[in-house]
Amino acid sequence: MFQDVLAKDGARVGDCLLSVMEPLGDGRIAQGMRYATAGGKRLRAFLVMGSARMFDVPSSQSVYAAAAIEAIHAYSLVHDDLPCMDDDDLRRGLPTVHVKWDDATAVLVGDALQTLAFDVLSRDVVSSDPMIRLALVSSMARAAGAQGMVLGQDMDIAAETAETPLNLDQITVLQNNKTGALIEWSATAGAVLAGQDPTPLRHYARALGLAFQIWDDILDVEGDAALTGKRVGKDADAGKATFVSLLGLDGAKTRCSDLITEAQDALAPFGARADDLCDAARFVIARNS
């Protein structure tokens, strides 16, 4: 069952994250880093390890790349939850980092998680080929930075005060950057680690990333805070245009199913080797958290 694979990979990545943070000691920032990287579905970690398995890359290597992307993801959540951004007090069912500690600690925890990701990704254990490590480092920098996640976040913040709500095309561009870029990095990492062409996985990841985000909008309307571990109904409260407000609930669900078919079709060249990634696509639009 896919949930078992997700749990197994997630646990390995959790252990790896703890091991790379071991030398950091037990000061406030290290504690915050461990707190922020605990839990979560570990979907991005799975995409790295699952795509690596398709190319017979050992998990002893891919687990470090998976830990790196989870560190970036955790940093983005810690900063996104800050009062100057989304101002959330609940994440993964627990108080957010700035609530448990304070704003300055949350900024520094996010900063330190981001640099930790690049530190880990540049280590020999990821690949014996320095060109592969460099490709992963530079693609992660681009996915997370001002051409990727940071751009998407900025577009999201700008949309809050824009005179006219975003249309479907604009929301799609925003989300492709905000959440799609890290998902794409994760799903293509296996091919990059193997020195293979990541193009089919890129097509898979683009469709998957969009379906993930549309489902997130659906959960914001239909979800249960006890399961999602975060506040629901936020988008409607903020009067934000979302895939649900633009397509309607049924339209959004149909779009999700179409995207999942698209994602799975992109994996056809890999046959049964891609079974786990196909299952991941189905999971994305069946999850309740």
Q: Least distance (Å) from ligand GRG to the CB of residue 58?
A: 24
Angstrom CA distances, 192 to 2, 10, 115, stand at 23, 21, 21
Residue bearing tokens 């609940």: 90
The verdict on 139 binding ligand GRG (CB under 6 A) reads no
* Piece of 19-27, 47-55, 131-139, 148-156 that binds ligand GRG (CB under 6 A): 148-156
**Two tokens, residue 258:** 């179409």
Return the residues of window 225-264 that contact ligand GRG according to CB under 6 A. none
Residues within window 17-56 making contact with ligand GRG, judged by CB under 6 A: 40-41, 43
Which amino acid is it at 11? Answer: A
Tell me which residue has its CB nearest to ligand GRG: 40
**Residue 184 or residue 194: which is nearer to ligand GRG going by CB?**
184
**How far apart are alpha carbons 162 and 156 in whole angstroms?**
10
Cβ-based nearer residue to ligand GRG, 43 or 247: 43
DSSP per-residue codes, 54-93: HTT--HHHHHHHHHHHHHHHHHHHHHHTSTTTT--SEETT
Q: Which residues contact 197 (CB under 8 A, 6 or more apart)?
A: 191
Using the rule CB under 6 A, is 98 a contact of ligand GRG? no
Residue 117 near ligand GRG by CB under 6 A = no
Does position 92 interact with ligand GRG (CB under 6 A)? The reply is: yes
How many amino acids of this chain bind ligand GRG (CB under 6 A)? 16
Angle between helices 130-144 and 181-193 (to 10 degrees): 170
Quick one: residue 183, left, alpha or beta (phi over 0 = left, psi -120 to 50 = alpha)? alpha
177 contributes a contact to ligand GRG by CB under 6 A = no
153 binds ligand GRG (CB under 6 A): yes
Q: Between residues 194 and 210, which has the closer beta carbon with respect to ligand GRG? A: 210
DSSP, res 94: E
Q: Determine how many CB atoms are found less than 10 A away from the CB of residue 286.
A: 11
Work out which of 9, 184, 216, 276 binds ligand GRG, going by CB under 6 A.
216
The residue ranges that bind ligand GRG (CB under 6 A) are 40-41, 43, 73, 76-77, 79-80, 92, 149-150, 153, 178-179, 213, 216
